[in-house]
Each structure stands twice: as C-alpha cells, then as structure tokens.
Amino acid sequence: PEGPVPTVFTLHGGPHAADEDRFSAYRAVWLDAGFAVVEVNYRGSTGYGSAWRDAIEGRPGLTELEDVAAVYDWAVESGLADPAKCVVSGASWGGYLTLLAIGTQPQRWAAAVASVPVADYVAAYEDEMEQLRSFDRALFGGSPDSIPAVYNECSPITYVEAVRAPVLVLAGDNDPRCPIRQIENYLDRLAAREIPYEFYRYDAGHGSLVIAETIKQTAAEVHFALRVLGLKNS
C-alpha cells in the first residue's frame, strides 16, 4: 500500500547480533497484518566491525536508541511510516531497548511490545546469572555499586514517569537472563501511573522453544498493536 502506513520497528536482541536480509516468519506476520517492518542494526550490532560493535560501551541502551531515532526520522520523512501509528518492539536486549525507548522518546511511539526485557537494570543485575553480571560490568564499565549513576541513566524504570504508550510485556517465570522480579517492579510503576499495559506471563525461561507457544505469543503481539492503534486485521 501507499504510505504512510502503520509501522513496527523490531529491535534485535544481543546486543551483539544483527538483522539480516532473509525470510523471517515473525516479520511476515506483521506484514500480513498491514504493517511496514523496519529493522535497525544499531551501534552494538555485529557485522560492521569492532568499533561499531563496541561503540555502546559505557552508555548502553541510550546509544542504540540514537540510531533508532535517526531511522525513525528517515521512515517518517520518506513517507513510509505514519508517525501516529509507530510501534516499537523487541525481545531480550531488544525488549530492553523497547522499554527504554518509550521512556526516553515518548513522542515517537504509539505502542510498545517488549518480550523478556530488562526493565529495572539494578534489580536485573541482582537476580541474573553470574555470566551476565560479568557481561554487564564490561558493558557498563563496572557494577551498579561502583557506577550507580550510569545504571540509573540506562535503566528503563528511571523513565517510567514519561511513558505514554500502552505496553505489552511478555515474560517467562523462570528466566535466568531477564528475571521476573525486575519486570514486576517496572509494571508496578506503570500501574501506579495508570499507564495501560498487558502482561503475558508464561511458564518457561528466556523465551519459549515450543512452536505453538511462539505462535500464540506472536499473535498476542500483533493483536495488541492492532487494538491499541484502532486498526482491524483484514
């Protein structure tokens, strides 16, 4: 269809990973529902050299979102994306970026879908497995005790007061990477502000390997976005 159209910005996890130009069933579901799909290989992604990959060190999250904002501006200015119907979505690190985006860029996003995200970085650090604590110390430049201001600046829960967009959060009860307590902390803060949100909670870990469950979750994501934006899936 001719633009501008509803658009979902799907942010990959990792952060040291990358979206590739190949078939994606997840992307196809959004396209079938009438959305344009935009993917961003933000700084921190692989495939563009070590300087690009390591550029987020010391300021993770906010650095990537500068690149997401630049691509958002291009998508709107080019006539592709309807600025009133832009959804930000992601899983794991992409879910973290999603929640950080709606707090730091509230004017851009009409809805958010965050799967297995980091939502409260300090609580996540306390509860996550030791390998990830080591990764976080390398990425941030220290622990929350040694550099609390950096963790505070880069944590989605810091910006809850600015959130405007309805949020769907999907999380596993037994997730060792993005533990459930820190997600509940974030949702409690949303509830206190009466920001509309939905919580899809399931009995698994960091995502599900069951195909039927994956299909169910993807349908929940798309239907949530259609409903929030006032659209109908033709």
Catalytic residue ranges: 92, 175, 206
H or E segment at 132? helix 130-140
- Phi, psi of 29, deg, nearest 5: -65, -45
Residues 6+ apart with CB under 8 A from 34: 1, 5, 6, 231, 233, 234
Closest to 224 in 3D by CA, of 181, 169, 185, 183 = 169
The string of DSSP codes covering 155-178 is -GGGGGGG--S-EEEEEETT-SSS
Cβ(7)–Cβ(80) below 8 Å: yes
Closest CA to 66 of 48, 44, 92: 44
